[in-house]
Structure 1
Amino acid sequence: MLNIRKAVPEDIDTICELYQPLFEWMAELSPDIFINSEQDKCFVSDMINGEKSDILLAANENVLVGLVLLCESEIPPICTMVYHKYCYVVDFVVHKAYRRTGVGTELIAETRKWCQERKLEYMEVSVLANNPALSFYENVGFKEIKKIMRYHI
């Protein structure tokens, strides 16, 4: 049975282990952007203990199978921008063996609750154009709102 809960400091090592295949894969997918590295335990600790961030964990019979790292964000006070408070999905990880089993959808549902508790207006995630997870995000309701383009020199 799937259980979703907030991470606690005792989860840091297990969280970092779950990140490792993601980091390896991202370095293969986009080597011009990412390098294969280990997750910084201090960063994870800061996200767990932060007032404006959380890591939600998905566990199947006490085995960690997914996570979502969330940060409360806001549009800065710029005269041409409409102010919004929103949730930025920093990282979204589901163990390869548990993809297409509903884990990701459950993590999104819990993220929605997290946003509602904080009175946030929407969720935002950045996805590489060549990331197969793009279809997952579209299927759970995310819409493309902008593109970032790069010009190599």
Structure 2
Amino acid sequence: MQIRKLSYHETETIVEYLQAMLDEMASFGGHVFQNSDAGSTWLRDCIQSQINSPDHLFLGVELDAAPSQLIGILEASIAHLPPVFLPKASLHIHAIYVVPTHRRSGVARSLMEEAFQWGQDKGCTEVDLHVLQNSPAKSLYEGLGFGAFQIEMRRKL
């Protein structure tokens, strides 16, 4: 298994994996992804505008066996607090996706640890992410030391 930064020419694969992640999240109560040209175009534009930014990270995991096969991705960025607060840089994990056949084998943990190191190298002092209450990934995050910081509450109108 090899972890590396993803490149601009891999945008379509990133879009495909993010769409799969969003579809899975919907099954756990998340927002439903609009599987349309407009939804895909929006994702593609976001990725292409951020993939070469020094404060944005797109990682991929490949199997060592030939031909190489991308089995997971992670997207993260550096977030800064608004100026009304004391300065602090945080690593924000936007997305992580591992293909179903390679889950529970350490792929997600390895991606997260690589992102943690990148964040530390960039001066971040903490890492945050959002997870759905019913997501099976919640146990992974708790095992990595994440805990609830702020709870978002909702109700139907």
Task: With the length of structure 1 as denominator, give the TM-score of the two structures.
Answer: 0.89
The alpha-carbon deviation at position 107 of structure 1 amounts to 0.5
Aligned length: 149
The alpha-carbon deviation at position 152 of structure 1 amounts to 2.1
Query: Higher mean Cα deviation, 101-110 or 7-16?
Result: 7-16
- 2:156 is aligned to 152
Q: 1:92 aligns with which of 89, 92, 96?
A: 96
2:109 alignment partner AA: T
The alpha-carbon deviation at position 83 of structure 1 amounts to 3.0
Is 2:70 the counterpart of 1:64?
A: yes
Is 2:127 the counterpart of 1:111?
A: no
The alpha-carbon deviation at position 36 of structure 1 amounts to 4.2
3-state SS, counterpart of residue 150 of structure 2: coil
Q: Distance in 2 between matches of 1:116 and 1:93?
A: 22
The alpha-carbon deviation at position 128 of structure 1 amounts to 1.0
1:60 alignment partner AA: L
Compute the RMSD of aligned alpha carbons.
1.6
- 1:125 is aligned to 129
- 1:52 is aligned to 55
- 1:35 is aligned to 33
Structure 2 unaligned runs (5+)?
none
Equivalent positions of 1:131-150 (< 5 A) are: 131-150=135-154
The alpha-carbon deviation at position 4 of structure 1 amounts to 0.5
Q: Distance in 1 between matches of 2:32 and 2:95?
A: 14
Residue deviations 1:92-145 (CA, integer Å, cap 9, x gap):
111111111010111011011101110111110011111111011001111111
1:14 alignment partner AA: T
Residue deviations 1:15-61 (CA, integer Å, cap 9, x gap):
12222321221223226x23343542111112212232110111113
- 1:73 is aligned to 79
Equivalent positions of 1:10-25 (< 5 A) are: 10-25=9-24
| Misfit runs of 4+, over 3 Å | none
